[in-house]
Amino acid sequence: MSNQLSAMLNAWHANRDATEWVLGTVYRTDGSAYRKAGAMMLINGHGQQFGLLSGGCLEADIIRNARKAMITGKAVMLVYDGNDEDDLSFKLGVGCGGTVYIMLQPVTARNDLGLSDLHHALTQRESGLYFQKVGDVAGHFETSDIAAQQTAHIEKRTDGDWLITPIRPEPHVLVVGGGLDARPVINIAHEMGWVTTLVDPRAANARAEHFAHADTILRKIDNDLARHVFEAKVDAVILMAHSISIDGDALAVLKNTPIKHLSALGPNHRFAEVLKHAGITRSDLAFDISSPAGLDIGGQLPESIALSMLSGIHAGLFKQSAVPAVSAVPVMARAAE
């Protein structure tokens, strides 16, 4: 199971009355931390965990403390200081060196902290804000539009501190072309917990036995495809049919849909041919375009090319600059050589 919030909530929703549950949330961090404020996990009465609040170092102790929240019915507050040699997190080998503040809230039939509303919203692919009262057993969800750069934060109110976390459904990617090189794209996206749609009008391609992890397989590039993009709230598209006409037909259908990002496999002059076939210009398209598709990670085989394309989409959707996490200086230095 993926660590996406929707997958965690699916596990909870299917068994919410069968056992006890606790919601664990990072509500604050100081210094470096594996997960940031707003990260969540769910723990049940069988000791099963869904999601991560660290790199795996703290989860056993978090699960042990979750039992206290189940028994008392009250929130349990935890602090792990990676800089303190006497702190448990230091002894557990937490490598980030920062301090992580975690809240464990019991989830009951009488008070599910708004998780039912949150689960429903993600099922409908709706965004919103999740509110949790720090140190208390209170929470609710409100549907709203969320900016890509919006992050979790503490808001001080007259009744206490509230953690407000922006919630977005996992990305939905439409892959145009169901050839051999599309298989790792679908598989890696599935592993990340993303939703995928695959479309290819050619009978020999996009066969269900080769794409067991595709959520939807379509056979026509027409107005029904555009309708699917609207209704299923597709975020990004990859044109990789290895056919100018198929890619061009898809682009013509998708030009007025609300997708946020489009990646086109192949060199930039090929995308110019796709545009020509579609009868449109690049300026006619309101979404971000990556041509050639993906980040330059030096990949040649289908698996590394799939990783490159999905990494580019991830950066595009979440508005992150595609540079190493530590520093961009070494890359810049190598580029200057």
Question: Which residue is associated with the tokens 């609710």?
Answer: 140
Q: Beta 172-176 vs 139-143: how paired, if at all?
A: unpaired
**Chain segment 221-265, per-residue pLDDT in tens:** 999 999 999 999 999 999 999 999 999 999 999 999 999 999 999
Which residue, 81, 77, 78, is CA-closest to 92?
81
Q: Comparing 106 with 81, which gets the higher pLDDT?
A: 106
Average pLDDT, the chain: 91
Cα first-last separation, the chain: 44
- In this prediction the pTM is 0.86
Token pair for 291: 């041509």
Tokens 């602090």 locate to 79
The pLDDT value recorded for residue 284 is 94
Looking at the chain, list the stretches that DSSP marks H as alpha helix, in order from N- to C-terminal side.
5-15, 59-72, 88-91, 115-123, 183-191, 223-231, 244-254, 268-278, 302-317, 329-336
Q: What are the DSSP calls for 273-314, one per residue?
A: HHHHHHT--GGG--SEEESS-S--S---SHHHHHHHHHHHHH
The pLDDT of residue 330 is above 50:
no
**Interior angle at CA 184, CA 182 and CA 189, nearest 5:** 100
Map residue 333 onto helix, strand or coil: helix
Per-residue pLDDT for 332 more than 60? no
For 76-90, 109-123, 278-292, which range has the lowest pLDDT when averaged over its residues?
76-90
In sign, the C-alpha dihedral spanning 40, 23, 60, 160 is positive
Nearest to 37 by CA among 85, 82, 98, 122: 98
How confident is the model at residue 82, as a pLDDT? Answer: 75
The tokens of 335 are what?
């580029």
Residues 6+ apart with CB under 8 A from 64: none
pLDDT of residue 320: 62
In sequence order, the β-bridge partners of residue 173 are: 196, 236
Count the residues in the chain.
Answer: 337
Return the exposure string of 141-165: e unless at least 16 CB atoms fall within 10 Å of the residue's CB, then b. Answer: beeeeeeeeeebeeeeeeeeebbbb
Using one digit for the tens of pLDDT, what is the confidence trace for 11-37? 999 999 999 999 999 999 998 888 999
DSSP assignment letter at 127? -
* Secondary structure letter of residue 78 according to DSSP: E
User: pLDDT band for position 86 (50/70/90)?
Assistant: low
Mean pLDDT (whole number) for 260-278? 96
Q: Which residue has the higher pLDDT, 9 or 334?
A: 9
Q: Does residue 141 carry a pLDDT above 60?
A: yes
For the chain, domains (ranges, CATH) are: 5-167 (no CATH), 172-317 (3.40.50.720)
d(CA 194, CA 172): 6
Which of 183-192, 205-214, 291-300 bottoms out in mean pLDDT, i.e. has the lowest? 291-300
Number of H helices, E strands in the chain: 10, 15
- Asked if the model's pLDDT at residue 274 lies above 50, the reply is yes
3-state class (DSSP) for residue 260: coil
Two tokens, residue 47: 């000791």
The CB density around residue 31, as the number of other CB atoms within 10 Å, is: 12
What percentage of the chain reaches a pLDDT higher than 70? 90
Per the listing, tokens 């800089």 go with: 83
DSSP 257: S
